[in-house]
Each structure stands twice: as C-alpha cells, then as structure tokens.
A and B are shown apart, each in its own frame.
Chain A
Amino acid sequence: MTERSEESIKLTKLAECAGCGAKVGAGELAKLLADISVLRDPNLLVGFDKSDDAAVYKINDDVAMVQTLDFFPPIVDDPYAFGAIAAANALSDIYAMGGEPKTALNIMAVPEDMPKEHVHEILKGGYAKVAEAGAVICGGHSIYDKEPKYGLSVTGFVHPDKILTNAGARPGDRLIYTKRLGIGVLTAGWKADMLSEETKQAMQEQMMLLNRAARDVMLGYRVHACTDVTGFGMLGHLLEMAEGSDTAIELDTSEVDIIPEAKELTQMGILPAGMYRNRHFAEEKVDPGQTPVWLQDLLYDPQTSGGLMIAVDPTDADALMEELKADPGVQSPQSVGCVTAYTGGARIRLI
C-alpha cells in the first residue's frame, strides 16, 4: 500500500464508478432502446443498431462524417491527466472507425466547491490531447454536479469506402491488439490505495496514449474490421465483432499482454463491478476452455482508453505486426487470435 500526501488531489475518491467501468451494461442498454423507433436515412451508413464505436453519416461520395461521444467520472487523481485520458478515450472511437478527428465539444460536470484550478487543469489536459490529434475544440457545455465528469463529443471524417466497422471481419483474418490489458482492475486497485507510484504513472501514460499511430499504420493494410476495446472488455468487444461479422473468434490467451500488477490484483479479488457485468453479458457465448478464472476475469475487465482490436487479412498480418512494433507511438502490438467461420455454439473460444 502507498501513502499519499494530504495535499494531493484525490479526484478518484469523488467517483462512484471509475472510467469506462461506469458504462451502462450492453444488455441493459439494448433493453432500454428496444422499443424506441428511429427514422431511417440511407446516408446513415453506421448507426446505433450496429453496436459500433461511432456513427457514420455520408455527406457525399468522398466524405462521410464520423460522430461519437464519451465521458466519465475521474479515473485518476491528477486533473490534467484525467482530462487528457477522457479526450484520448473519446478520440479513439473515431480512430477505430478508420477516421480522422476534426472537431470536438467538451462535456463537463463539476462540483460547485471544486477548486477552479482543478477544473482548469482538466480542460487543459483535454485541449492538449485534442490538439495532439490535430483536431480543434470548438465549444461545449458544463453543469454543476456532485460527481465530476468530463469527456468530449468528437466529429471526424472518413472516406465512405474506407470505413472500418466491427462487422467486417472474415474467417481467416488475424486479430491484432495494440495496448496492454488490465486498466479496470488497476483502477479498482487505485481506489483501494494499492498501487505503487510507478504503476499509476505507467497506467496513466497508457490511457493518455492516442490510438492515432496504430490507426495510421493499419490504414496501409487490408484491414477488414476494427474496434477499440473499452467498457465492455476485450471479450465484450470481440463478441460484438464476431456477432456483427457473423463469424467466430479464437483468442490465444497466452498472447494477450496483461499488466503484471493487474494479474496480482485480480488474484486478490480486487475487481471492478464492470467486470462482472461484462462477464454476465458475454459469458454464455464464450467457451473458456481451460483458461483459469483470473485470466478470464482480465479478458472481461473494462478498459478506459483501450487499444485497437484489428482484424487484418492473413497475408498482411505479419507485415502489419512488424510495422506496429516498429512504431514508437504504438504501445504493445499483440497477435491475439484469429477469426473463423461460425458453425454454431460459442462465438468465442479461448485457447
């Protein structure tokens, strides 16, 4: 356990749920929306019904608009880092669709008694990250709330023929993931004051890392599907990909890069409630094989600002891996499995 000084800011103590762990469960969301009818528009190329990362609206034959929105309560104590993480997380949905972010709007809730400099730092972190992505923040909205929250609505562009949804995976594709896994568990450990300063720092840096470099690299290859791994955990998002593409997925669990401290915490039972929601939602479609429970838990762990999960044509897979590995802007590319034909039964098999 680590002690922190009295003066340090404990933003995470103000949050009931942390980061993407605060996300409403996928099953719950589907129920809430089940009987609400929406207008149809042929230019809406990707809508909510596809359970994808962002919506895509075709403007003309050359340009489609990608839209997304993401916000959450503090996941780290440092206000600047919180702002930057929230922004990286929101921008990621644009990258996961193969798009390029252009404009963004702030969404913010702050307690009335929160020191002004903290609010300022959160915004500074957000602006810096959006600038790094080459986009501009052009406004936003703030309200008072007991629990702080911050995030962005981001709009980007993509060529209508080059949209990467989570529904395009084909049997034979290899799956490549680009960040380390275990952020939700570390968040739980943080709330319990069980993380070392080094772990906190590394976790913060990982979440602040844009998926921009991974996106730029993957666009040079025959990528059939892409999604970013966030609140539903790796297995939840893979399940969306498998179902959306009507394929099955074999996940090579030994290849998944797990943050060592997250493994330790998992074995101590320090798990976020979101893990159980994700497990409950997906597990009947996942065949765990001989995978130990702690590893399954981590595969269901909700990630904040997670990496890209890329389904790439097998002939391009090695070259894509090599280029991702060589790129300093990509944290930890891992070849984690492959897409197979669905023949009934479990959608995802852990091997």
Chain B
Amino acid sequence: MSTDQAATRTSGPEPLGEVRSDLAHQARATWVVTRRELLRFRSDRARMASMLLQPLLFIFVMGVGLGTIVDTGGDLSFQTFLFPGVLATSVLFTAAFAGVSLVWDREFGFLREMMVAPISRASIICGKCLGGAIVATGQSLVLLALVGTVGIPYDPVLLLQLTGCLFLGSLFLTALGVLLSTRITTIQGAMPMLQLLITPMMFLSGSLFPLGGLPVWLSVVTRLNPLTYVVQPMRHLVLQHLDLSAAEQARLLPALTWAGWEVPVGVQLLTVAVITAGLVGLAARLFASTE
C-alpha cells in the first residue's frame, strides 16, 4: 500500500451515497424497508396461499354454513352481512403477522443489517408498518374481487373506499404487531401474545354480528376495540350500496354511539388513524431506545 493512496478524510473518495436532505433520506430508507416486505411476500408462495385460503373459508364455509341457521330477518343473506367483517378479519391476521415479522428479522439476524445502516430507527419501523400494510391490503384484494358472489355490486367507488378502509385497518394492525416486536424478542413469546390480542379483537369488532342489542359489558368492550371502527364503516359502505329499507339498515347496522353521541363514519376512521399514528410513534420510540 503506497502512501499516496492514503485514505484521509479529504483526499480519499467520499462514500458513494448522495448527500440528501435528512427527510428525503429517511423517506427513501422507509421505502427501501417497505419494498423488502413486498419482495419477501412475492417469494413466499406458501404464505400467499395460506393467507388467501383463510378468508375464503370464512366467507364460503362459515358464511354458508351459518347462513342456514342464521336468519338476518330480511332479504339480506348472512353471507352478505358477514362479508365486510370477513374482509377486516382477513387483514387482521395477515397484517398482525407481518408486523411481528420484526421478531423473525431479529432472530435470523437480518435486523442487524438494518440497525447498523445509516438510517434512523424510525424509518425501519415506518418501513415495516407500511410494507406489512401494503402486503395485507394486497392479499385482501383477492377477497374483495369476490364481492359479486355475495350479492354486492361491483361499484368502483365502493371498491376503492373499501380498499382504503382495509389499508387503514392493515396499517393499524401491522403497527400493533411491530409495537409488540419491539418489546417481545422471541418468536415463542410473540406468537401467543399476538393470538391473545387479535382473536378477541376479531370477535369483539362486530365482524360476525350487529352491534345492536348487546349486553352492556359487550357493548362497552366493542366500543373500546379499535377494529370496530374499521368493520363498522365498511359495513356501512356495503349496506349503502344495497337496496335495503331504512329500518333494515338500522337493524343490521345500529348507530355506533359514544355516550349517546352517534359517531359519524369519518370520525370512526379518524379514530383508527390517530390510534395507528400513536402506535407507530410509540414503536419508533421504544425501538430507538434499545441498544
């Protein structure tokens, strides 16, 4: 090694990366982490198949099966009523598991590759959340494509609105999974914890039954469940597009109230958005404080 090749701060070549504003750099880093999630999903055929199968079982087996004994009391089939709930349930599992994949990244060492890169920890968290949410939403689109089979019209606006709701729900659930992963560092610990959280969330979100006429305790718990505010707007959107009498609408989709105040759909969605932002922020904070 000759001296004239000496690496010094001024005479040596600068690192290849472009100098960008910090925000642009972090946004780019977030997108890089996001894209990895998408690439991983694409290469994982088994996960793709299993995640698609589960909601199909819900809608066709459970929907049809229960439909024979459950009378919705009107023209609406139970399958149609169930459909928005099944959509939400489908992202519930995929998104939460995508969030917990941070634990797998840690266990398999890859997390370290991200932790030592010249990017902020917050952008790793944001990337994981965004990536998981996109994957989960993408998976649920397959189910969404089947709306016609349960008598819901293929209305582009409706489909777009439902996709938006699904994305918001996915983001919320991925963030929840990521938040868990910042504190629970083993897969053995994370999986039961996740089940413990998401199974009650699914049953207590009104995905399987209308939220009217419930015992007080159940009605309180459902209102505390953030997923409720994803399921109810989606059911609202779907029922709006069906020819139902006002009375039937009110029966199937009783107004969601907070201490007597009828919560508008927009506020419901906003609630989920705020909670999601809180979860992402908390996860980023906890993640940054680990060495």
Chain A bound to chain B: no
* Interface residues of B, Cβ cutoff 8 Å to A: none
* Interface residues of A, Cβ cutoff 8 Å to B: none
